[in-house]
Amino acid sequence: MSKIETLVDEGFRVSLIETAFFDGKFEIPHIDAPKDIVVPSGLVPFSRRQRSRDKQDFVCFYEHDVKFREILTHTEDYVEELKQYPGVISPDCSLYIDAPLCVQIASIYLNRAVGYYLSKQGIYVIPNIRWGDERTYTDELLGEKVAFQGVDKHSIVSIGTYGQIRTAESKRYFREGLIAMLDELEPKVVLVYGAMPDTIFHGLETITEFVQYPDWTTRMKQKNIMYKSSVEHI
């Protein structure tokens, strides 16, 4: 375990980004785009990673932050284990739309800092893109779209709808942020963990290639249904 000397290092993991390049006025760590685009065969949440069959899934963090706190505070301890999987989606640190802007920016920073460090250890990392309120995905207040800093254009990114689009307000923020992300990053492939309702994705299908993955609960239900169906036909 690495030595933590200050509260700043513990909270913001500055030791992870000693060799990083930074983007924008907030100096968000930059995650280089992978040389080749690899589309995962499946996604498994960090807390469920041991249930990935033959470790063929990419590890993702589309679950409550508490369940992946350790990857943020003790990233170094998980490198060798994560190397057993085909790749990782950078952490989906929560950006609550009612949180102070500094907190939202801090979550974007941690996403990139951990993703950068894992990529430098030889792990295939796909950047997770998460935005909060309009201050993070427009340039009206900050002069830049901070939610998209630290990520290369014209590559592969990932987003999660699971648990993020429950209200009319959250749906509005999600669609607006998604449109802004597509305009800013022009990704070739966008992975989507969770549902893709028409209220959010209508009219966007032709802009890029979306690849959808069921959330873990839905995936397990589908697996059980398929198993029961196969047993009934024996």
Looking at residues 142-167, what average pLDDT do you find? 96
For 42-73, what is each residue's pLDDT tens digit?
A: 999 999 999 998 999 999 999 999 999 999 99
Confidence of residue 229 (pLDDT cuts 50, 70, 90): low
Is the pLDDT confidence value at 4 over 80?
no
Is the pLDDT confidence value at 223 over 90?
no
How confident is the model at residue 1, as a pLDDT? 46
Is the pLDDT confidence value at 39 over 80?
yes
Residue 8, judged by CB atoms within 10 A of its CB (0-12, 13-18, 19+), counts as exposed
For 76-113, what is each residue's pLDDT tens digit?
A: 999 999 999 999 999 999 988 889 999 999 999 999 99
Residue 134, judged by CB atoms within 10 A of its CB (0-12, 13-18, 19+), counts as middle
Q: Distance (Å, rounded) from C-alpha 134 to C-alpha 177?
A: 7
How confident is the model at residue 3, as a pLDDT? 53
Confidence of residue 74 (pLDDT cuts 50, 70, 90): very high
For residue 178, give every residue at least 6 positions away whose Cβ sits within 8 Å of its Cβ, in sequence order, or none. Answer: 159, 200, 201, 204
For 163-185, what is each residue's pLDDT tens digit?
A: 889 899 999 999 999 999 999 99
Distance linking the first and last C-alpha atoms of the chain: 51
